[in-house]
With several copies, the nearest count.
Chain A
């Protein structure tokens, strides 16, 4: 193993299209960030690292994930042929595992013995705790006290996997406070500790790194579709929270100009309402959480509260590469409301026997709208970022069904 821990001077990094991205975090963390950057760029092309990563993706994450022809939906919608990229079939049930495997492997090569992460509803926390268990690493997860109270099950699940979960009691005790607490922990104990980023957000190199680890989604889907249909898709659709599954779903198609890329944001109660998470449509340029990107904020630059029925999509920002793709018109971003997503949750269950994550159902809802407007010889690849077992209770409640487990 090379000497990876040596930090070296870096130039201005991670700026997309002269605008988005960059590094906007406290000086205390910059040296650590440089080390991560250096390690990532050294290792990503290292054959040993590649082999190890590949092995974990195949033999732990259960990749390649299925490219599933949704015959019933296709016939029912009567337009484009619909393929679903089934990240819900990964071990732990979502695309998140691709990324945490990559970052944890990097941490291992950096000689780190401890992973830390923040989590909102708990999905990223569970994924991080999972990989820490596999690697025999310590794991500490920061979660707002409000969230640990609401999500006791995920709290216990992380502890079951051997992680220490810290309920954060500062501020409003939710995700943003957990982020603060994690950064504080990272800043005060970066030696030996790796901060596992949960989406394609944050300061460089995180957006690039998370994209790299999630690109396996589009690399596979391209090959798989080639094998099945001997062509490229006409459209790729994925939901966008921070943007990791979407950027991973787009990555290998970005240079294929004929492939339309559509990111689906959570519009909550409506793109134009105050209760939304449609960052690209409703947000404006800002600098936050380490990056320049689009954020839901007021005219003073104060970050707005966000809302979506889906815990995984209610983030006030978006990864800088999505902001860039939107600006350049390479990808299109659309909003889907809570109501539409819930309808899609029911639709795909009934049509295909798939209980998909409510996050992913935002993408499905868009497919329901767009597929009928397309011709039968066109093809949509829609990423199902995760499975929906975690959502069944809350959707039942949303529909007024009384569930008290």
Chain B
């Protein structure tokens, strides 16, 4: 098990997301550093996938830019290694299972450990298939971050009870992408999760404004923002890091307000 859970202790976490190698190696490294500088608690680095079934258009487009840059799984590791020279911010990978499977579960987890990557978010691996990788991940102290959705129903209990690191609470139905409305039973859902586990929760999928971030951070232990940041990268390209850092700071303070509101 990693030290991810500890981050949430008495602290509302902000977890931003970037796609590796979008639009290129150096910019991604700089973006990771900018996110850390801007106040991210955990940086989620997306490994591009040819067919990202859980992702909306913004992240699909980022994946395509990364493929144009020639991204390989190896490239992603090198980006993290390069970032590690400038920051020790906790990092998790968001990756579709096939990437990990093809690399080899053991080799992949070992690599994560070596790079100081604490966890994996695998959107196409439900509870039923977690045994494929969890024993291996455990061996290297890597958390497999489970997702819980508004539709999870009777499944919440077993998923929550088996969780480690943190729990990715899906804010709404469908796929990633900016949204203005969320599932209105999120508060109850988080409460139900809490009744089964102490593992912290972070809400993601569609959050994109400071106000939304604050709202979500009031409900859960943390908030994840993906498409909004990827969108900045799409707009600014190599000039993204500065804007990313500014945006991160604005979210950081919104999340901190939620923290204060609660305290």
A10–B57 CA distance with the chains assembled, in angstroms: 33
A271-312 contacts to B, CB under 8 A, are 284-290, 295, 297, 299-303
Segment at the B interface, from A137-145, A186-194, A208-216? A186-194
The smallest beta-carbon distance between B233 and chain A, in angstroms, is 18
The smallest beta-carbon distance between B65 and chain A, in angstroms, is 13
A-B contact count (CB 8 A): 131
B119-177 contacts to A, CB under 8 A, are 123-129, 131, 146-155, 158-159, 170, 172-175
B126 touches A30 (CB 8 A): yes
A300–B95 CA distance with the chains assembled, in angstroms: 12
The smallest beta-carbon distance between B21 and chain A, in angstroms, is 12
A284–B64 CA distance with the chains assembled, in angstroms: 23
Chain B residues within CB distance 8 Å of chain A? 49-57, 60, 64, 67, 72-73, 96-103, 123-129, 131, 146-155, 158-159, 170, 172-175
Asked if A257 is an interface residue, CB under 8 A from chain B, the answer is no
A61–B57 CA distance with the chains assembled, in angstroms: 39
Q: Which of chain A's residues has its CB closest to B54's CB? A: A26
B148 touches A27 (CB 8 A): yes
The smallest beta-carbon distance between B78 and chain A, in angstroms, is 14
B residues near A10, Cβ cutoff 8 Å: 128
A234–B146 CA distance with the chains assembled, in angstroms: 49
B129 touches A22 (CB 8 A): yes
Question: Can you name 8 extra interface pairs (CB under 8 A) apart from A12-B131, A284-B102?
Answer: A22-B128, A24-B124, A25-B124, A27-B149, A30-B151, A183-B53, A187-B174, A302-B49
A residues near B100, Cβ cutoff 8 Å: 301
B residues near A176, Cβ cutoff 8 Å: 51
A189 touches B147 (CB 8 A): no
- Among the listed B57, B99, B150, B173, which residue makes an inter-chain contact with A170, where contact means beta carbons less than 8 Å apart? B57
B126 touches A24 (CB 8 A): yes
Q: Which of chain B's residues has its CB closest to A10's CB? A: B128
A residues near B54, Cβ cutoff 8 Å: 26
B residues near A31, Cβ cutoff 8 Å: 151-155
The listed residue with most B CB atoms (<10 A of its CB), out of A10, A179, A300, is: A300
B53 touches A7 (CB 8 A): no
A180 touches B126 (CB 8 A): no
Q: Give me 25 A-to-B residue pairs in the complex whose CB atoms sit less than 8 angstroms apart, sorted by A's number.
A: A12-B128, A22-B128, A23-B129, A24-B125, A26-B147, A27-B126, A28-B150, A28-B173, A30-B127, A30-B155, A31-B152, A170-B60, A176-B51, A180-B51, A180-B52, A183-B175, A187-B174, A189-B173, A286-B98, A286-B102, A288-B98, A300-B99, A301-B98, A302-B49, A303-B51
User: Per-residue 0/1 for A170-212: is the Cβ within 8 Å of any B Cβ (1 yes, 0 no)?
Assistant: 1100001001100110011110000000000000000000000
B residues near A359, Cβ cutoff 8 Å: none
A188 touches B124 (CB 8 A): no
A26–B129 CA distance with the chains assembled, in angstroms: 11
Count of chain A residues with Cβ under 8 Å from any Cβ of B? 42
A26 touches B98 (CB 8 A): no
A98–B250 CA distance with the chains assembled, in angstroms: 56
Q: Which of chain A's residues has its CB closest to B73's CB? A: A300
Task: Decide: A30 near B128, CB < 8 A? Known: A9-B154, A180-B53, A288-B51.
Answer: yes
Asked if A32 is an interface residue, CB under 8 A from chain B, the answer is yes
A13-64 contacts to B, CB under 8 A, are 13, 22-32
A188–B73 CA distance with the chains assembled, in angstroms: 31
The listed residue with most A CB atoms (<10 A of its CB), out of B53, B124, B159, B174, is: B53
A7 touches B170 (CB 8 A): no
Q: Which of chain A's residues has its CB closest to B67's CB? A: A302
Q: Which of chain A's residues has its CB closest to B100's CB? A: A301
B53 touches A28 (CB 8 A): no
Task: Decide: A287 near B147, CB < 8 A? Known: A183-B53, A297-B102, A302-B49.
Answer: no
A27 touches B127 (CB 8 A): yes
B126 touches A26 (CB 8 A): yes
A residues near B151, Cβ cutoff 8 Å: 27-32, 187, 190
A residues near B102, Cβ cutoff 8 Å: 284, 286, 297, 299-301
Q: Nearest 7 pairs between A and B by C-beta?
A: A301-B102, A188-B174, A188-B173, A301-B98, A28-B149, A302-B50, A27-B147
A170–B53 CA distance with the chains assembled, in angstroms: 12
A171 touches B60 (CB 8 A): yes
B129 touches A24 (CB 8 A): yes
A32–B150 CA distance with the chains assembled, in angstroms: 12
A300–B60 CA distance with the chains assembled, in angstroms: 18
- Among the listed B49, B56, B72, B149, which residue makes an inter-chain contact with A26, where contact means beta carbons less than 8 Å apart? B149
Task: Decide: A287 near B175, CB < 8 A? Known: A26-B149, A27-B152, A32-B151.
Answer: no
- Among the listed A9, A171, A187, A301, which residue makes an inter-chain contact with B99, where contact means beta carbons less than 8 Å apart? A301
- Among the listed B101, B129, B146, B159, which residue makes an inter-chain contact with A301, where contact means beta carbons less than 8 Å apart? B101
B residues near A13, Cβ cutoff 8 Å: 128
A residues near B153, Cβ cutoff 8 Å: 7, 31
A33–B72 CA distance with the chains assembled, in angstroms: 33
A7–B155 CA distance with the chains assembled, in angstroms: 10
A285–B98 CA distance with the chains assembled, in angstroms: 9
The smallest beta-carbon distance between A328 and chain B, in angstroms, is 21
A residues near B127, Cβ cutoff 8 Å: 27, 30
B residues near A27, Cβ cutoff 8 Å: 126-127, 146-149, 151-152, 155, 159, 170
A100–B131 CA distance with the chains assembled, in angstroms: 33
Q: Which of chain B's residues has its CB closest to A14's CB? A: B128
